[in-house]
Amino acid sequence: MLTSVGRAAAQRLVLASAAPSKLPQLATQTLALRPAVATRGFAVSAWSRAPEKASTKPKAAAKKGEKKEKKTAADKKEKKTTAADKKGKKKAAPKPKPKPKATVDPEKAKASRLSPHAMKLLPLAQRKRRLASEYVKLDLQAPQTLPTSVYYAFQAEYFAKNRGKHEVAAEAFAAFHEEWKNLPKYELDRLESIVQENQKANAQKLEEWIKSQSPESVFVANWVRKSLVRDLGKSSRKYAQLPDSRYPAKSSSWVNFVRANKGEFQDAQAGFLEVSKELSERWKTLSDAEKQAFAEPEEKKKGSTGLSRAEIKDRAVAYWKEHSLLQPFATPAKFAIGTSDEQPLEK
């Protein structure tokens, strides 16, 4: 038996003889076995998942960071808005003081007054609108009147008694018409008497209101209303004439002569043409002195205001110039309105 020292020496000899031939195999075996060795790296990449306990802390930190970011953004917005408010408050102008009403300069108004020639240059529709608006400015608004028909008198009574009873207007009018159809005769008679009283009250109220206005303003209003109805096609009911008893009645020596002599022909069977012819022949035979006897006295030529027709007309011209830029008493015929190819304004 070999001793341990001898065995060790024998092994060294064997390895020394086999090393050159088996060295590549050993190298390949070591290389092939290296990938199979289970190893664990110590470096942690950014995409690797961390343990659950470690994951809660970064998320909470991230949330806190987001809240801080949101708060900072909100704070920035608030700071911006406060800064804008401060700028707005600085730039806010004080409220302007109410401007006094501008007074019309007579010279400027006279220079800008529309003449018939200037009005003719305007288009037809614009011309009519301008005329209508200027006429309405010169018109007087009469006071509101009481109902003058049985239907409207009953309507006023019904809605005064049943105010707030119906929420819908259609239901209220349906109930009103139903009651109007079944109205008894004694109610109609009662409403008829109310209508007659209303007519008297309206006439008295209108007369008092007209007397409260100046004679020249009523004269202008009547002229304007006549033109609105005749030339611009407005409603004659809406723009009726205002009866002014203060205005002197228009009469002449011929009219007074006819009034004084027409009584002779009342019993006769002569016609109107024959009577007019006879009176005309008599008038021609009179001298100037005799005709002057039929002239109206001076005190009768003036109305209750003490103004003659000519004086009222002069005042009316001044009133027109003060309240309108339109040429005083310029008829629509001067503005080329009313020809066959033109239609009146809608009522």
Q: Which of 162, 187, 212 is the last residue of a domain?
A: 212
Q: How many domains does the chain have?
A: 3
pLDDT of residue 245: 83
Q: Is 265 exposed, middle or buried (0-12, 13-18, 19+ CB in 10 A)?
A: middle
CA distance 37 to 29: 13
pLDDT of residue 219: 92
My answer on whether 208 and 219 are in the same domain is no
My answer on whether 174 and 266 are in the same domain is no
Residue 225 corresponds to which tokens in the numbers above? 């209303």
Instruction: From 254, 302, 252, 297, select the one nearest 276 (Cα to Cα).
Output: 254
Averages of pLDDT over runs of 10 residues in the chain (347 residues) are: 62 57 50 48 51 51 49 51 51 66 54 63 78 87 90 91 83 89 92 94 93 92 90 87 83 80 70 82 87 71 75 90 81 51 37
CA distance 177 to 175: 6
pLDDT of residue 269: 66
My answer on whether 227 and 131 are in the same domain is yes
pLDDT of residue 155: 92
pLDDT of residue 273: 82
My answer on whether 242 and 312 are in the same domain is yes
pLDDT of residue 122: 73
My answer on whether 325 and 266 are in the same domain is no
The torsion region of residue 72 among left (phi > 0), alpha (psi -120 to 50) and beta comes to alpha
pLDDT of residue 276: 84
Name the DSSP class of 94.
P
pLDDT of residue 258: 83
Element containing residue 82 per DSSP (H, E): helix 52-91
My answer on whether 133 and 160 are in the same domain is no
My answer on whether 111 and 171 are in the same domain is no
pLDDT of residue 201: 94
Instruction: From 204, 265, 232, select the one nearest 338 (Cα to Cα).
Output: 232
What are the residues whose beta carbons fall under 8 Å from the beta carbon of 262, sequence distance 6 or more? Answer: 275, 279
In a domain, 286, yes or no: yes
> Is this prediction's pTM over 0.85?
no
My answer on whether 191 and 164 are in the same domain is yes
In a domain, 100, yes or no: no
In a domain, 319, yes or no: yes
My answer on whether 111 and 230 are in the same domain is yes
> DSSP strand E in the chain: where?
none
pLDDT of residue 126: 79
Distances in whole angstroms, Cα of residue 24 to Cα of each of 12, 13, 30, 263 = 19, 19, 10, 168
What are the residues whose beta carbons fall under 8 Å from the beta carbon of 219, sequence distance 6 or more? Answer: 244, 247, 312, 313, 316
In a domain, 345, yes or no: yes
My answer on whether 345 and 235 are in the same domain is yes
pLDDT digits (tens, 9 = 90+) for 257-304: 888 887 777 666 667 788 888 888 888 888 888 888 877 665 566 667
In a domain, 91, yes or no: no
**Which residues on neighbouring strands pair with residue 326, listed in sequence order?**
114
My answer on whether 345 and 261 are in the same domain is no
Residue 55 corresponds to which tokens in the numbers above? 């994951």
My answer on whether 334 and 238 are in the same domain is yes
Instruction: Return the sign of the alpha-carbon dihedral for residues 336, 340, 342, 347.
Output: positive
In a domain, 33, yes or no: no
Tell me how far the alpha carbon of residue 248 is from its chain's centroid.
Answer: 43
Range of the structural domain that residue 272 is part of? 252-295
The DSSP code sequence of 192-238 is HHHHHHHHHHHHHHHHHHHHHS-HHHHHHHHHHHHHHHHTT---TTT
In a domain, 186, yes or no: yes
In a domain, 13, yes or no: no
pLDDT digits (tens, 9 = 90+) for 99-137: 665 555 555 555 555 666 677 777 777 778 888 888 888
pLDDT of residue 271: 75
Cα Dmax for the chain: 200
